[in-house]
Structure 1
């Protein structure tokens, strides 16, 4: 029979103290390697029952769980338990729920929550919308307590579908949820969940022909007349001024591709930041219109030039045109992508009211490369082209 001390001695030999969920997985594998029936030892089985007793209970108040904690408590005279201890308690109870009745270890290193939900979505147990609702509910939790409540409802669904989870990673994420690390956790979940992987072949396309083909950006495929159009645009507008990748309702609309390693780290890349800004701008620009405001070829210079031509026919005439030209000049002299985005946001309502479209593919590229040190001449090229487009459009005959 495997005991607590024997498991601990094995894990200590590995060079660090391991968490109980890691010990449980090792215990199950040890039985398999020894040629025994693949099952957990009596110690692990008994401990799993103790973990389920802790569901909904305050950390440190369940005596049966104390032997499975690996985060030590110091007698420092403080009444408040350390964040890591509380996070471990929450992780242990979630693991107990997940492992209950499962015949194999559910602790799967490398499977983040976003990846687990993606696997759940690809199964047949729940619809895509149902999975997204649960993931977004967890991601928008205001504090650790609320987050754990959502995860307690999600974990049994993972168990029923045979989807595992990296509980060591989850522990680290729960430990920083109420601190400054939450945004990186959110970004990692979103990037994992939206990992496009290998594109699915379209009708009439051979399986190998779709390899390398990327999904088109949202503004290219947006259907103004669809029943969900209004809700989708509202979700995208919610991201205005927010850190890219951290707005859960925007996750289904991201198409950014990046290496899995970067996704798992929740990396904030130039591609992601540019797409986030372009999506929020498109949502503000598109609202109330029944035709797509993404117009290939319409650079910001062309779009503002069309605004200036329209303004010239109004009562204010030259004064309005001059004001637009000054504002456009400020846009052209943007020092970085953040300032460029600020000026573009100021033009979005004007373009919306005038019904003037904009090339969001071009805009996304500009936002990505404007201040990229690897492309020192990118901003200059955009400035020259957009300035030329503006004056060409303004002086063109109606």
Structure 2
């Protein structure tokens, strides 16, 4: 039988303190390695019962749980429990719920919450919409207490579907939820959940060629007449002015591909930032139209040039055209992608009202490379092309 002291000795030999959920997994593997029946020791089984007693209880108030805490309370004289201690209490209770009745360890290193929900979605236990609702509800929790309540409803579903979770990672995420680290946690969950995986090669296509081919962007596949079109655009508009990757209702519409390491860290890359901005612009541009406003080949220069031509026929005539040209000039001289996005947002309502389309593939590429130090000439090339498109369109015969 493996006891608490024998587990601790293994932990000490490893050279670092391990959390209870890590000890439990080691305990189960030790039984398998010794040729015994694969099951948890009496110590782990008894401790798991103690964890379930702590569900819904305040941290530090469950005597039976004290032996499984690994975060020290310290002796700083403060009445308030450390955030890490509270986060560990919450993680322990969730682990207790998840491990209950499971025959194998549910602590799976490397499986973040977003990945776990993606695996749950790919199973047959719940519909895609049901999984998304639960993940988004957790992601929009206002504080740690509310988040844990949502996770308490989600974890049993993972258990039923045989999906594990990295509880060490979850502990770290819960510890920063009420602080400045929440956005990175949200981005990691969203990126994990929307991971498109490796594309399947089509007929006649080599494996290596499939790697560079991802799912088409949302603005390419958007169907204006679909029943969900209005709700989808509203979800995307909610991301305006928000940090990319942190708006849970936008997650189902992201197509950004990213290395697993960056995805799990919640990295904010140029690709993700550009896609986020393009999605929010498209949503503002597309609303109220029954045809797709993504028009391949229509650069910002072409689109604003069409606005100028339309303005020339109005009562203000040349004055309106000159005003649009000045505004477009400000766009062309944008110092970075953030300023470029700001000017593009000011044009979106005008393009919407005039029904003028825009190439969002081109726009996304421009936003991604405008101030990329690895592409020092990218902005200059866009400026020249868009300026030429503007004047060509304005002077074209009607």
- TM-score, length-normalised on structure 2? 0.98
Tell me the secondary structure at the aligned position of residue 158 of structure 2.
helix
Tell me the secondary structure at the aligned position of residue 135 of structure 1.
helix
The answer to whether the Cα contact below 8 Å between 1:198 and 1:212 also exists between their aligned partners in 2 is: no
Structure 1 position 91, deviation (Å): 0.1
The answer to whether the Cα contact below 8 Å between 1:109 and 1:167 also exists between their aligned partners in 2 is: yes
Structure 1, unaligned stretches of length 5 or more? none
Distance 1:336 1:311, change over 3 A: same
Q: Give CA-to-partner distance per residue, 1:283-327, whole Å, 9 cap, x none.
A: 000000000000000000000000000000000000000000000
Q: Give CA-to-partner distance per residue, 1:228-260, whole Å, 9 cap, x none.
A: 000000000000000000000000000011111
Q: Give CA-to-partner distance per residue, 1:176-211, whole Å, 9 cap, x none.
A: 000000000000000000000023578999999966
User: Does residue 1:277 correspond to 2:277, yes or no?
Assistant: yes
Distance 1:205 1:365, change over 3 A: closer
Q: How does 1:23-34 map to 2 (within 5 A)?
A: 23-34=23-34
Structure 2, unaligned stretches of length 5 or more? none
Match for residue 113 of structure 1?
113
Q: Give CA-to-partner distance per residue, 1:347-391, whole Å, 9 cap, x none.
A: 000000000000000000000000000011110110000000000
Structure 1 position 3, deviation (Å): 1.2
Distance 1:9 1:265, change over 3 A: same
Separation in structure 2 between the aligned mates of residue 284 and residue 208 of structure 1, nearest angstrom: 37
Separation in structure 2 between the aligned mates of residue 386 and residue 207 of structure 1, nearest angstrom: 37
User: Does residue 1:391 correspond to 2:391, yes or no?
Assistant: yes
Structure 1 position 74, deviation (Å): 1.1
Q: Give CA-to-partner distance per residue, 1:24-66, whole Å, 9 cap, x none.
A: 0000000000000000000000000000000000000000000
Separation in structure 2 between the aligned mates of residue 362 and residue 376 of structure 1, nearest angstrom: 18
The answer to whether the Cα contact below 8 Å between 1:369 and 1:375 also exists between their aligned partners in 2 is: yes
Structure 1 position 12, deviation (Å): 1.1
Distance 1:137 1:202, change over 3 A: farther
Separation in structure 2 between the aligned mates of residue 207 and residue 259 of structure 1, nearest angstrom: 17
Structure 1 position 5, deviation (Å): 1.1
Match for residue 252 of structure 2?
252
Range with bigger deviation, 208-217 or 372-381:
208-217
Q: CA-atom RMSD, angstroms?
A: 1.5
Q: How many residues align?
A: 398
Separation in structure 1 between the aligned mates of residue 15 and residue 114 of structure 2, nearest angstrom: 29
Q: How does 1:1-398 map to 2 (within 5 A)?
A: 1-199=1-199, 212-398=212-398
Separation in structure 2 between the aligned mates of residue 208 and residue 182 of structure 1, nearest angstrom: 36
Separation in structure 2 between the aligned mates of residue 383 and residue 189 of structure 1, nearest angstrom: 36
Separation in structure 2 between the aligned mates of residue 52 and residue 318 of structure 1, nearest angstrom: 74
Structure 1 position 213, deviation (Å): 2.9
Separation in structure 2 between the aligned mates of residue 317 and residue 270 of structure 1, nearest angstrom: 40
